[in-house]
Amino acid sequence: MSNMLGFRTLLMKEVLRFWKVSFQTVAAPVVTALLYLLIFSHVLDEHVQVYGQIRYTAFLIPGLVMMSVLQNSFANSSSSLIQSKVTGSLVFVLLPPISYLEFFAAYVLAAAARGVVVGVGVLSVTVWFAPPGMVAPLWVLTFAVLGGAIMGALGVVAGIWAEKFDQLAGFQNFLILPLTMLSGVFYSIHSLPPFWQQVSHFNPVFYMIDGFRYGFFGVSDVAPQVSLAVVSIAFAIVTVFTLASCSVATNSGTEPHDAPQNHRRPSA
């Protein structure tokens, strides 16, 4: 037994939520990515070539697109959850007959949707500076959706565990931002000293970006099949962990307070 309509409604509501404020959720990150591109291509385009023949600006564009996909996917599910937790409106989603899996799938898909929308936005304003081409669009789409879904799931976990906005900001600034920035968005890891090359291989985000970039150039630091395997395993692990978090959160529940409104102590 499942509640397909419940799932679809929640997915639609989550998409509408960011779409209704798209100036902030879509336009703003597109501008940010554009600024990165303008600055880095100005400084580096004439000095750096990657994989021997690719202009730095062309190399940078897919990296920026994927970084925007990942960061915005995380931001979507995590901020939606923390907002509705702090305001208390999460109760509207918790009262209906919606399973953890339907809940999870709706938030993750909406997060990936925001990521892809922002990604398309970033690509469409940056592509004119140095068209990178796209030799394998299916790889591009696969990594964008899968990467967005992983980050969306991590956003669900962060949204469940965080009780306040600053805890979420900590998660974002000290985990998500370093993982995405140090994953090869701005450089090929072959340019790194051997030790840091090794370290980069332990960062799952590296595989998301590397695989995504393969779809544009047909060359990458590791084979796209390897990246796909790593990213798929990461998705499976994050899924299991997120579903477990949902269950633990329901088990503990939130200690209710009569007053003051909207103030909640951490549960368990």
Partner 1 sequence: MGVAVSIQQVEKRFGALRALDGVSLEIAEGEFFGLLGPNGAGKTTLISCLAGLARPDTGKLTVLGRDVVVDYRDARRLLGVVPQELVFDPFFTVRETLRIQSGYFGIRNNDAWIDEILANLDLADKADTNMRRLSGGMKRRVLVAQALVHRPPVIVLDEPTAGVDVELRQGLWQFIRRLNGEGHTIILTTHYLEEAETLCGRIAMLQRGKVVALDSTQNLLHEFSRHTLSLRLVGGAALPPALAALSSGQVEGAWQLRLPDFSAVEQVLATLREAGIAIDDMRLSPPDLEEAFVRVMQRGRAQQ
Q: Which residues bind partner 1 (CB under 8 A)?
A: 1, 3-6, 8-10, 12-13, 16-17, 20-21, 84, 87-89, 91-99, 250-256, 258-259, 261-262, 267-268
Q: In the structure encoding, which two tokens stand for residue 2, read together? A: 């499942």
Cβ(28)–Cβ(117) below 8 Å: no
Q: Which helix (H) or strand (E) holds 244?
A: helix 224-252
Closest approach, Cβ 16 to partner 1, in A, equals 7
Amino acid at 181: M
Closest approach, Cβ 4 to partner 1, in A, equals 8
Instruction: Give the rounded distance of the alpha carbon of 128 from its chain centre.
Output: 24
Closest approach, Cβ 246 to partner 1, in A, equals 12
Please report, for residues 85, 166, 223, the alpha-carbon distance to residue 174 in angstroms, rounded to integers and kept in the order given. 22, 12, 29
Which DSSP state fits 175?
Answer: I
Closest approach, Cβ 57 to partner 1, in A, equals 38
Closest approach, Cβ 126 to partner 1, in A, equals 30
Whole-number Å distance between alpha carbons of 218 and 201:
20
Q: Which C-beta is closer to partner 1: that of 4 or that of 138?
A: 4
Q: Which C-beta is closer to partner 1: that of 32 or that of 99?
A: 99
Whole-number Å distance between alpha carbons of 50 and 197:
16
Q: Which C-beta is closer to partner 1: that of 138 or that of 268?
A: 268
Please report, for residues 31, 41, 185, 201, 237, the alpha-carbon distance to residue 179 in angstroms, rounded to integers and kept in the order given. 21, 22, 10, 12, 17
Q: Which C-beta is closer to partner 1: that of 93 or that of 179?
A: 93
Q: Which C-beta is closer to partner 1: that of 94 or that of 236?
A: 94
Q: Which C-beta is closer to partner 1: that of 164 or that of 190?
A: 164
Instruction: Give the rounded distance of the alpha carbon of 137 from its chain centre.
Output: 19
- Bridge partners of 54? 50
**Cα Rg of the chain (Å, integer):** 19
Cβ(76)–Cβ(82) below 8 Å: no
Closest approach, Cβ 95 to partner 1, in A, equals 6
Closest approach, Cβ 160 to partner 1, in A, equals 14
Q: Which C-beta is closer to partner 1: that of 45 or that of 163?
A: 163
